[in-house]
A and B are shown apart, each in its own frame.
Chain A
């Protein structure tokens, strides 16, 4: 029983580390632009480094027909764009202050992050 309990606690620790503490690898913009695939519940890449004070263009290519994926929301910038299926939708961002800004679907299940530095 002790082993089972320890395993359980270990599992909880693993969940906390994997989903909350782990620092994901990040992708860079290529000449101010990047294309993000929207498929199977994730943005790929989901963590994107953006130089501060420069505009950025994010192209979203949605391949997931689920309605969950159909809108991308940048709540810090009051941007909310509908993503057509199998077409690239470009979201243009004004130059940003350093910081972390999340982008999500309407239900916050698809999650991505802009790391502006």
Chain B
């Protein structure tokens, strides 16, 4: 692992060197066609002869050669080619490049398959039409023998050109005591061709009724399966759209301050601590902390949060997000592989490739599948030969060929990974990061969800929710006075007052003779007025009349708000309520969960009354209140003992043990400040809709997997017996190998296409 990482860094430096065009830079080439160790010397000496090269050394295992010197890549490639090998510039290991390369390779393979398909069907289709409408495909006269011999040779050419990869693969697997799809196709088409050639060359060894040739089957099957594979590659490409979109978020260059000047450099060269400038409409290249400037940043591509976020000095910005209105100068804090975007990409990729337990049975079956099908083909043929109607040989051959061709282990193996790939990607698009296939599967089965109150259902930061002025005092004036007084206090409620004043852009004055009265409030003098700010008891102690506002204060408390009184010169000025406000969409999201049949429970350390008030507002009936932080996991266990499959949602830091104990732990993020490593599922935005989305996506994915697995099982379980001839005694028809070929080619395509349907899935927000 360390070595691999080291290697990557090494490559980056090289890329940097050659980009800057410095003399004596290092070039890395990928060598093609070097089959033996003796090539190493030849290639190295050829490169050393190129003017300007100071050193060339080849790594035979990696098929790479690194060359130092002041030369161009082109002259090096030319030298290697002159020596009889192929060479190209070694690709950097950036994810975007790797993906491009993969797409190019896939496309080249797609084109090859389509070419091979055209040739095979070019022979197969006319032959099949001839057999269906024009003549019998039988061998009786010498003329027919010669004609079919030519067709047989043409079919052989198709097998060698279009079906070579099946036969090579089948042979290599065979000598390795392994069997795969190639084995089945090679055996099936090979049997049909070989039997036909026997009929052509030695018609006398076959009963007259069975002198039938099946060249069209061989050509058609090869063509159809190539077509199926080609379409499958196309469909597979679409399954990775989500990750492509994430990778596409990464800008290629950054504008960095170097020696007082702004220079554009490749993203790989940005270092931690660099000062980076982004203008309106540009993407933020790496993670960092704002040094100066003010702007709104669209983070929706990462968090799913539709509202732009205001950024000013000291705020964190995240690479890949879009700077909207102003210019920002920020200091890079995380670059390269450490950025939030890079970690998200690697986590999504990892999760996309992991398998949920539901796929395990299919895995076990596919391990034994191919040899089992071969045995079924032999048994089927024996049954036809022993008890079948005449011509038994022809029936035996057709049944064996059809069984071998129709069986599709791939559909079974593809069923799970394709859906996981699309489902996990879909979730990532909605700002939901799912750790692995197992978390995905369990999330789909959750029956009870525990929601932490502070920071999950509520914002987590208290705010002024209501100002009730006495007489005709202005609300803003009340807030300004209270905030001025509270400036010096460190109490969280005091901070919320100051914050609210700042939000309204009120300018605060100065306070004299400030005094904090522990447990009650504060007092001080502002602009010559003696201010007193605190709870009911403080007002009583100072003999200030508040009677007419007591009822109002009590109703505030019943709504989980904290009422505070502000008095000036011994007269009540206003009643101010502070509360941790419930997130705007918590109510709707909780309703979605409940509608999905999930038992929603609230968990909090707050006192029972506040807890009850919040729960009532968001429509939660069950509450665990006054729970100490260390007891949170006990509540998870309690529900598990009741037989529930428990999801726990919290901030991922204070709730870590409870998240770990829950069947699925959901860490709710605030923006992109994600605790990616801590939970099974990370919700990038603060909204609880992310939670409902996560469950909806996981359920949709599992439903899709079940459809796929069911389809693949039924296809094989029904197709193989029918192909073997089980229906023949009842309806007198045996399946044609060509139809088997078409069915097999499109079965795995169907699986991939069904998985692709998930891309259209949209979680319902309301």
Contact = CB atoms under 8 A, between A and B. Distances in A.
Binding between chains A and B: yes
Interface of A: 1, 4-5, 8, 11-12, 15-16, 18-20, 22, 24, 35, 39-42, 44, 46, 57, 59, 61, 65-68, 70-71, 73, 75, 78, 80-82, 84-88, 90, 92, 104-111
A42 to B, nearest CB: 5
Interface in B155-188: 165, 168-170, 172-174, 176-182
Contacts of B385: 1, 4-5, 8
Interface string B62-104: 1100000000000000000000000000010000001001100
A8 B174 CA distance: 19
B169 A40 contact: yes
B63 to A, nearest CB: 8
Contacts of A65: 105-106, 108-109, 112
A15 B177 contact: no
A12 B101 contact: no
Given A12-B375, A22-B177, A41-B172, A92 B1 contact: yes
Given A68-B181, A105-B413, A109-B366, 14 more contacts: A1-B385, A8-B378, A65-B105, A67-B106, A78-B354, A80-B355, A85-B101, A85-B105, A106-B413, A107-B181, A107-B366, A107-B410, A109-B180, A109-B409
Interface of B: 1, 3-4, 30, 32, 61-63, 91, 98, 101-102, 105-106, 108-109, 112, 165, 168-170, 172-174, 176-182, 229, 232-233, 236, 349-350, 353-355, 363, 366-371, 374-375, 378-379, 381-382, 385-386, 409-410, 412-414, 417, 436
A66 B233 CA distance: 9
Contacts of A67: 106, 109, 232-233, 236
Contacts of B236: 67
Contact of A59 (B61, B181, B354, B374): B61
Nearest to A10: B378
A82 to B, nearest CB: 7
Contact of B179 (A19, A39, A40, A107): A19
Contact of B177 (A1, A24, A73, A110): A24
Contact of A41 (B30, B105, B173): B173
Contacts, number: 140
Given A8-B378, A75-B355, A106 B172 contact: no
Nearest to A17: B177
B3 A90 contact: yes
16 contacts: A5-B382, A8-B381, A12-B378, A15-B371, A40-B173, A41-B169, A41-B170, A41-B178, A41-B182, A44-B172, A57-B3, A67-B109, A80-B353, A92-B1, A92-B4, A107-B409
Contacts of A110: 180
Contacts of B413: 105-109
B132 to A, nearest CB: 32
A109 B174 CA distance: 12
Contact of B353 (A24, A41, A81): A81
B629 to A, nearest CB: 31
Contacts of B353: 71, 73, 80-82
Secondary structure at chain A's binding surface: helix, strand, loop or mixed? mixed
Nearest to A106: B417
A82 B62 CA distance: 17
Contacts of B180: 41, 109-110
A42 B491 CA distance: 68
Contact of B178 (A46, A68, A92): A46
Contacts of A108: 363, 366-367, 369, 409, 413
Contact of A8 (B109, B112, B382): B382
Contacts of A11: 378
Contacts of B32: 86
B371 A88 contact: no
A106 B168 CA distance: 21
B382 A75 contact: no
B446 to A, nearest CB: 22
A35 B355 CA distance: 25
A5 B386 CA distance: 8
B354 A80 contact: yes
A86 B30 contact: yes
A29 to B, nearest CB: 14
Given A8-B378, A88-B62, A107 B371 contact: no
